Structure formats: C-alpha cells, structure tokens
Structure 1
Amino acid sequence: MAWLENTFPRALAICLAIAPLALPFPAGAAPEVIECIVILDQETGVTLVRSGICDERFTPMSTFKVPLALIGYDAGILKDERTPRWDYDPKFDAPKRARKAFDPTSWEAESILWYSQELTRKLGAESFGDYIRKLDYGNRDTAGRPGQDEGLTESWLSSSLLISADEQARFMRRIVARDLPVSAKALDMTIRIIPRFAADDGWNVQGKTGSGWLRRKNGKLDRSRPVGWFVGWAEKDGRRIAFARLRIDVAKATEPSGLALRAQFLKELPARMRGK
C-alpha cells in the first residue's frame, strides 16, 4: 500500500496537506501537538466529549469525500453504490495502486483522488461552489489559492477550503439526521458507501480518514508535522453519536496519520463514552 492514502496523484509533489494557515507559534518556540476530539449525541446534539483545539480550521483532506459523495448523488452524477464505474486514464498520473477502475464504494474505501476530481469536473466550478455554500461546509471557500487555478480540483487539499473539528462533527451529525439540503437518495447512498469499522466494546463505526502534513512558510511540506483526521458516526445498542478526531504531530510519521488516528479512536471510544 502506498505510504499515503492515494488522495493526490502526484503524492510527493502535492500530497495531502494542511493549508498554510497553521497555528502561529512565538519566534523560536518549538511547535506543539495540535489535537482534538469531539463527540456529539446524535439525537440531541449535546456535546458529550470535547477536548483540545477544536475550533481552529484546517484543510479537510480526504474527509472531504464525505460531502463530495452527497454532492455527487444529489447532482445525479453518482447513481448507486457501484455506478458509475470510471476507468483509470494515464493523464491522471496517479500512484500505482490507483491505476484501475473505481466505483463510489471503492472510491471512498481506497480514497482515490482522481475519482474525486473527475466528479468535480463534471459538476463544474459554479455548481461545485454553490453546493459547498448550500451545505454550509466549513469556510465555504472553493476559490483555491491565488493564481493557482486549483479551486475546482484541489480547493480541499492544502488550499482555500477549511473546516474545524467542531464543524466536522456537526456536519456528520446532520448527515445521519438527514438535515442537509440534498435529496433523500443522496443522504441514503452516502451513508451506504462510507467505510465501516468495528470498534471495541460493540461499537459500529462509519467514517473517513484524512492524512497529510502542514506546510512551512515557504509553501513546502513539513514532514515533521504530520496531520491526521477521522470523522464520522457510530452506534451501539441504539445509542448513536457523531464525532471528529484531529491530530497534528511534531515528528515524522511511519504510516498515514489518518489511519493511525482511526485505529486509536476505535480503541479509545468505549472509554470516552463510559458514563456519558
């Protein structure tokens, strides 16, 4: 498996990364770990767990495939769990693992960037921007970086579109509550294709990871600042929650940070929910 989650076709040149709006540190100060966990009660919206820096916005990276699925189904581009199945084109210049055909389910499971970009190209810039604003997703900015002409295909990747962990958790809750301005089919199909995981103590989890790095002031990736997301919803014995987990570390990672954070969340969830 590729070191990253295949969310960029030019993994070493672009890669998934947090936007260059990292939290400022005093001159000469060592960077610190940025971490957050938010868990909301699905039925009431009450915050059950909230710890860390949860209100700062960062690039959503591969977690953006969740709202993008909603958009694709609502626009009629995505049809069901297996349609459309798009063939790989060498012009995508994707990592070897992504050089094959994908459908909506495998797109989400294997986190394939070129499938996302084909979807947004079919939408067009105006419709894409309209959907993000209608969904009230993060800062709603799909313009891309100045002079880069990247808004349609990379605004969610180290660019202009940003979202906080608080906002991620609320958005996930709205999906399950079917409280978003898209069709019932779009909500149902998106819930069907989001990857499923078994957590400890009987929790059933659905969620999407995101992995990357912060950028230095000069715009280059800082591999000593790996970023991980895991967002979604979970259920146990009729109790339902929505969640967002974020961690930005201070040392080089040995695996995609989102995958490591997902494994951590699946283990820690029972303890986090004990007594809630």
Structure 2
Amino acid sequence: ALSLMAFDAEIIDQKTIFKWDKTPKGMEIWNSNHTPKTWMQFSVVWVSQEITQKIGLNKIKNYLKDFDYGNQDFSGDKERNNGLTEAWLESSLKISPEEQIQFLRKIINHNLPVKNSAIENTIENMYLQDLDNST
C-alpha cells in the first residue's frame, strides 16, 4: 500500500535513490542506499519511515480509507505518537490474510483510486522472478 501512496503522491519515482545515513539499521541488507525496488524487495523499514513522514498522516489515512485497507488504523502504539514511523510494525495497522489477498487483487485489476502509473510501478517492483514448473 505504501508504494502505491508514494508513487501516486509523486514522492518517489523509479529513479529515486534512498540514501543511507551510515547509521546501522536492524538488518545488514538495510545498511546501504536503496531504490524503490530494493526497498520493497527487502522491506527496508527506514525507507518506509522516510516515505510515511513525507506523505503525512492525514494523506495516509485518506489513502487507507480509499483503499479499504485493513482496519485503517495508523495511530501507532497507544500514547506514543508514533503512527508515522511504527503503525505497520506490529502496531495499530492490522490486515487479515483475506483482506491482503483482496487488496492484491485490487492492485492486479487496477481497481484502486490512484494513478495508473502508481499501480504499474508498484507491480513492477513487486516482481522478483518467474518460477519454473518443476516440483
């Protein structure tokens, strides 16, 4: 969902480079510059946190409502005022597996109220590789 928001709001494009600040992060793979594709591929939390702060809480809440995304609660941990940096990390934003599948279908079917380019860029970055038919 965040990728769709970022591309739709024109916060990022496919040429964006997220510059690592040289501060060690939670996983070794996060300790480098990233592109939109590697951000999604490796679930780079510090990039997500940069993006959410650029989009802003009100706009994110509107997107979540428009997407009918899970419980739409981006408040973060109770009394910690950390929604923009923590809501999706085992915090307030919840989505069931069934809701996640429905959301992915909306992406694939281009059935979300965002620019077509936001959907296309998100799909492109979700793709990792074709799987062969071997068992």
Normalised by the length of structure 2, the TM-score is: 0.91
Q: Percent identity?
A: 34
Match of 2:7 in 1: 73
- 1:186-244 C-alpha deviation (Å, 9 max, x unpaired): 01111111032434528xxxxxxxxxxxxxxxxxxxxxxxxxxxxxxxxxxxxxxxxxx
**Alignment partner of 1:102 is 2:34:** yes
Match of 2:124 in 1: 192
Alpha-carbon deviation of 1:97?
2.6
Q: Which amino acid aligns with 1:166?
A: E
In the alignment, is the contact (CA less than 8 A) between 1:94 and 1:114 conserved in 2? Answer: no
Pairing partner for 1:181 from 113, 121, 134: 113
Q: Which amino acid aligns with 1:114?
A: W
Find the aligned partners of 2:50 and 2:56 in 1 and give their Cα distance: 10
Alpha-carbon deviation of 1:76?
0.2
In the alignment, is the contact (CA less than 8 A) between 1:78 and 1:84 conserved in 2? Answer: yes
SS at match of 2:60: helix
Mapping 1:255-274, distance limit 5 Å: none
Mapping 1:1-276, distance limit 5 Å: 67-80=1-14, 83-90=15-22, 93-201=25-133
In the alignment, is the contact (CA less than 8 A) between 1:84 and 1:103 conserved in 2? Answer: yes
In the alignment, is the contact (CA less than 8 A) between 2:4 and 2:119 conserved in 1? Answer: yes
In the alignment, is the contact (CA less than 8 A) between 1:92 and 1:114 conserved in 2? Answer: no
In the alignment, is the contact (CA less than 8 A) between 1:139 and 1:162 conserved in 2? Answer: yes
- 1:69-91 C-alpha deviation (Å, 9 max, x unpaired): 101000001112xx210111145
Alpha-carbon deviation of 1:142?
0.5
Normalised by the length of structure 1, the TM-score is: 0.46
In the alignment, is the contact (CA less than 8 A) between 2:23 and 2:31 conserved in 1? Answer: no
Q: Which amino acid aligns with 2:6?
A: G
In the alignment, is the contact (CA less than 8 A) between 1:108 and 1:195 conserved in 2? Answer: no
Structure 1 gaps of 5+ residues are: 1-66, 203-266, 268-276
Distance 1:168 1:143, change over 3 A: same
More strand by share: 1
Aligned length: 135
Alpha-carbon deviation of 1:150?
1.4
Find the aligned partners of 2:29 and 2:109 in 1 and give their Cα distance: 35
In the alignment, is the contact (CA less than 8 A) between 1:120 and 1:128 conserved in 2? Answer: yes
Alpha-carbon deviation of 1:133?
1.4
- 1:17-56 C-alpha deviation (Å, 9 max, x unpaired): xxxxxxxxxxxxxxxxxxxxxxxxxxxxxxxxxxxxxxxx
Find the aligned partners of 2:25 and 2:133 in 1 and give their Cα distance: 42
